[in-house]
Amino acid sequence: MNEAVELARELIRIDSVGGGEAAVAGPLARRLSEAGFAVRTHEHAPGRTGLVARWGTGEPVTLTGHLDTVPLGGQAWRHAPHDAEIDGDRLYGRGSSDMKAGVAALVVAAERHVRRTGPKVALELIFTVGEETGCEGAIGMVAEGLVSRSRALLVAEPTANRVLLGHKGALWLEATTRGTTAHGSMPHLGDNAIYKLARAIGVIEKFDPGVPEHPWLGPSTVNVGTARGGINVNSVPDLAAATIDLRTVAGQDHGRLRERLQAALGGEATLGVLVDLPAIWTDPDDPFVRALVEAGAGAPGDRPAASYFTDASILTAACGGAPTVVCGPGEPEQAHVTDEYCMVHRIEEAVEIYTAALARFT
């Protein structure tokens, strides 16, 4: 069996749903150390360990993926989520597409590349924790100075081996309103926080992010995802809150966006930041993009942006604004679904693409 496919199966068999990434990082760290990489681990929290593996000197090409997976959901699985079963050309399991197959392909491609080129080419592999919940591990790694300035950044998130040039950013906010509690039979003695929140949501619904539509990323958008308030039916609620999902485009200033929304809300609600991840975009004519396409990756085409955010929101800036490409063997529509799978041939194909692209670019 192909080396990368077998490694992907090994990783899928390890449960890293919402934590436990240390069990995935351990065998990867040992393997990369044996291959000659200088490995440093980063413990985000107990049991949640990522790693940075470095080969060579000078500015590297950085390869990255995350080790955490999302919960299994309530629907029954026909293929056990951690058995890594292969049925025909499909490798089943939680994290198969998102994104343990991508991690495995990066590792095997990196090993092959350094065997062929020796010490003259610098590579850096970054495997993070907590990407699914807001890129927490990447934020911690950058804060500790573990990420190097790079020549290019490759994110192996699921794209079916097609080159994507970036993705929207995410600014998640919480709008909080406060009032005064009173008995529900005497509401005139209180100040209803839910009514205030309802008015605030009306303002948010009509809010214009204030930037033109990006030619490839599309428009900046706003959505209220949750609303909650009150404790019991017979009291005037004194606290209510809603979460807001703003998706942003390249060049959009998140601080200014938040200030504009707060000004629109006035004193009705106060905003707090939950997640702040900028958009990413790379010129389609960049040499790193060309190297991947010439190596066999699918061209960006008329849909060149990912619909999801990635650790690149944090890592690209830390890598010195390096050209960033998202390209991985997973199937995009299989991320987070029941009976998740990755096509076996795409894992093998990804290794060949990465290896050939590194040879061309370096």
Q: Could you tell me which of 65, 49, 47, 79 has the C-alpha nearest to residue 7?
A: 65
- pLDDT 10s digits, 327-339: 999 999 999 999 9
Given a cut of 90, whether residue 119 has pLDDT beyond it is no
Given a cut of 80, whether residue 120 has pLDDT beyond it is no
Task: Give whole-number Cα distances, 120 to 58, 64, 112, 191, 362, in Å.
Answer: 9, 21, 14, 69, 9
Instruction: Note whether 268 and 177 are within 8 A (CB).
Output: yes
Task: Give whole-number Cα distances, 182 to 185, 189, 200, 240, in Å.
Answer: 8, 6, 22, 15
Distance, CA of 357 to CA of 338 (rounded, Å): 33
Q: Kindly state the percentage of the chain with pLDDT values over 90.
A: 93
**Domains of the chain, with CATH numbers?**
3-167+280-361 (3.40.630.10), 169-277 (3.30.70.360)
Q: What is the mean pLDDT of residues 275-298?
A: 96
Task: Give whole-number Cα distances, 33 to 58, 96, 163, 248, in Å.
Answer: 19, 24, 29, 39
CA dihedral 277, 173, 51, 346 (to 10 degrees): -60
- Ranges of beta strands (E only) in 56-122 are 61-66, 86-87, 90-92
List the helix and strand counts (H, then E) for the chain: 9, 16
What rounded mean pLDDT belongs to the chain? 96
DSSP 122-189: -EEEEEES-GGGTSHHHHHHHHTT-----SEEEE--SSTTB-B-EE-EEEEEEEEEE-B--BTT-GGG
pLDDT, position 19: 87
Distance, CA of 220 to CA of 91 (rounded, Å): 36
- pLDDT 10s digits, 20-37: 999 999 999 999 999 999
- pLDDT 10s digits, 317-362: 999 999 999 999 999 999 999 999 999 999 999 999 999 999 999 7
pLDDT, position 117: 80
Given a cut of 90, whether residue 307 has pLDDT beyond it is no
- pLDDT 10s digits, 192-246: 999 999 999 999 999 999 999 999 999 999 999 999 999 999 999 999 999 999 9
pLDDT, position 160: 97
The predicted model scores a pTM of 0.91
Q: 133-137, 241-245, 280-284, 299-303: which range is least confident on average?
A: 299-303
Distance, CA of 310 to CA of 102 (rounded, Å): 13
Q: Name the 3-class secondary structure at 3.
A: helix
pLDDT, position 1: 62
